[in-house]
Amino acid sequence: MENIILEGIETRGILKTKRKKERGRDKCSKFLKLLKTKHEEEPEIRPRRAKIIGVFSCKGGVGKTTTVCNIAAYLTQKLKKRVLAVDANLTAPNLGLHFGELEPKVTIHDVLSGKIPIQEAVVRRHGIDAIFGSIAFREEVHLVDLRAHLEPLRSKYHVIILDSAPGLGPEVMAAMRAADEIITVTNPLLPTVASTIKTFGAAERHKVPVMGVVVNKVRGEPFELSTANIKKALGWPVLTSIPEDAKVREATASGIPVVMYAPSSPGARRFKQLSEKIHQFLFS
C-alpha cells in the first residue's frame, strides 16, 4: 500500500516535471514560430506536388512555345517557384531552340523509348529546368502515358508546364490528358479564334479544366477581334493579350526567353503579367 502511494507520489512528481518541461517547450516553440517567416514554415505544412499546366492551340505558330518558355523563366527566376518546362511536341519539338539548345543530349524521346529514366532527361538552361525534344530521333515514340512518366518529378516541382504540338491529333490529346489545367493561345484573328473553340471542346470532352486564353501577337489592326469579343466567342477568361513585338522574335532567335532578354519590352511585360496571374491562380 505504502509502495503504491509512494509510487503515486513519484509518478505525480515525474508527471509534474514532465508537464513543466512540456510547457517550457511549448513556450519555446511558440517563440521560434514567431521568429520564423511564413515562407520558412511552408514546406513542412504543404508537401510539394507539381500542377501540370498544358499550353495548347489548334493553329501552329501562334506562340505556344514562346508562352511556355517565358512563364517557366519568370516563375523560376522572379517568383521563385520550382518549374519544369517539358516539350510534349514530339513531331516538331522546338522548346530547346527557344532556350538556345540546338541538339539536346538527353530528350523526352529517350524517356518515352525507355532509354533513360525521366529524372535523367532534365537539363538546366539559363537557370530554368527543362526536358527538351529531339528533332533527329528516328524511332517511333508515343506520349500515351506522359502523366505517369511525369509522376516521379511532381514532388520536386511546384509547376510542370507542357509545350504541345498544334492541332488536335493523338499526340496533342495525350498531352492534354496529362495536364491538370490548360491554357490556350490564340491570335486575335477570326480563323484562329474559331479553331480555338475546338481546343476548348476537346478539353471539355476530356474534363480538363481550362485556366483561360492568351491572345498573342496583337497588332491593333482594325480587322482584329477585340478582347471582349474573343471572351464572348470562347466563353473563357482572357488571361492577357500580348502585343506583336519584334523583341519577342529577337529573343527567340537568340535562344533566351524575352522576359530575360528584353525585360522592359512591351511583349516581356505582358508575359510577366501572365506569369503573375498564373502564380496567383495556383498559389493563393
Ligand X SMILES: Nc1ncnc2c1ncn2[C@@H]1O[C@H](COP(=O)(O)OP(=O)(O)OP(=O)(O)O)[C@@H](O)[C@H]1O
Can you give the binding site for ligand X, defined by CB under 6 A? 57, 60-66, 89, 166, 216-217, 242, 244-245, 248-249, 252, 267
Q: DSSP characters for 137-204? A: --S----TTHHHHHGGGTTT-SEEEEEE-SSSSHHHHHHHHH-SEEEEEE-SSHHHHHHHHHHHHHHH
Residue 267 binding result from Mg ion, ligand X, none, given CB thresholds of 5 to 8 Å by partner type: ligand X
- Report DSSP state, residue 118: G
Shortest spacing between CB 244 and ligand X, in angstroms: 4
Q: Which of residues 59-88 bind Mg ion (CB under 5 A)?
A: 64-65
Residue 242 binding result from Mg ion, ligand X, none, given CB thresholds of 5 to 8 Å by partner type: ligand X
Shortest spacing between CB 164 and ligand X, in angstroms: 8
Candidates 56-64, 105-113, 142-150, 174-182: pick the segment binding Mg ion (CB under 5 A): 56-64
Shortest spacing between CB 182 and ligand X, in angstroms: 14
79/38 Cα distance (integer angstroms)? 16
Shortest spacing between CB 46 and ligand X, in angstroms: 32
Buried b (16+ CB within 10 A) or exposed e, 265-277: bebbbbbbebbeb
Nearer to ligand X, 76 or 240 (CB): 240
Do 160 and 167 contact (CB within 8 A), yes or no?
Answer: no
SS3 state of residue 65: helix
Q: Tell whether residue 217 is a contact of Mg ion (CB under 5 A).
A: no
Candidates 13-21, 58-66, 146-154, 170-178: pick the segment binding Mg ion (CB under 5 A): 58-66
Q: Which amino acid is at 25?
A: R
Nearer to Mg ion, 79 or 84 (CB): 84
Task: Tally the C-alpha atoms within 13 A of residue 50's C-alpha that lie toward its C-beta.
Answer: 25
Shortest spacing between CB 112 and ligand X, in angstroms: 18
Question: Cβ atoms within 10 A of the Cβ of 201, count?
Answer: 12
